[in-house]
Amino acid sequence: MRTIVFDIETANTFPTLARSDIGRLELALVAIYDSETDAYTSYVKEELPALWPILERAELLVGFNSDTFDIPLLDRYYPGDLTKIPSLDLLVEVQKVLGRRIRLQSLAEATLGKSKKGSGLESVEWWKEGLVDKVREYCIEDVRITKELYDYARENKKLRYKDLSEVRDIKLEVGSWKKRGGQTALTHTLPL
């Protein structure tokens, strides 16, 4: 099954705290891991036409906070409809069990013993300063963490997080994850 793990970074921040302002955000770049090539790549806005055929042939998109942030924002640039491609949002899966959201940093520390290399707000500042390679590196690292969490969850049927000073397990029903993907979800918007 061709799985694309992805993350996006923006060129600006929310003008207000309202999530309805997502339409005012501008895409800086997208980073992906492609299970077919076993490679990490990234694409600035001008390079997105090279990304579309990869997404067109994906059987599953995997992200973190992707259902309400990454997919809707990226879909503004996509000539088709990204919501037609089966997806898995790890944050949604965690929230189903815990009843609340957990930061990627907390999951990475407790599950993988790693820390993120920055924050989305820092990424916006780097972008504004013209540090495109630093934004690429940061975004690819977030994709790497998301992929490792996805792999860990599939293998162990759980993720871990810190609750104050105690590390706790989040038991996940990963059996349904395979059923989401499995067939290429061509949206037939691009020439083949």
25-83 pLDDT tens trace: 889 999 999 999 999 999 999 999 999 999 999 999 999 999 999 999 999 999 999 99
CA distance linking residue 28 with residue 44, whole number of Å: 6
Beta pairing partners, 159: 170
Give the position of tokens 């077919």: 36
Best CA proximity match to 51, nearest among 81, 24, 31, 36? 31
Give the position of tokens 């997208």: 30
Q: Which CATH architecture has domain 3-99+118-154+176-180?
A: 2-Layer Sandwich (3.30)
181 contact partners, CB below 8 Å, separation of at least 6: 1, 3, 59, 60, 86, 88
Residues 42 and 65 sit within 8 Å (Cβ to Cβ): no
The domain locations on the chain are 3-99+118-154+176-180
> What does pTM read for this prediction?
0.89
Tell me the three state secondary structure of residue 169: strand
**Helices 90-98 and 132-156: crossing angle, nearest 10°?**
50
CA distance linking residue 14 with residue 21, whole number of Å: 6
Confidence label for 14 from pLDDT (cuts 50, 70 and 90): low
Best CA proximity match to 147, nearest among 7, 37, 43? 7
CA-angle at 45, arms to 42 and 48, nearest 5°: 65
pLDDT digits (tens, 9 = 90+) for 79-129: 999 999 999 999 999 999 999 999 999 999 999 999 888 888 888 898 899
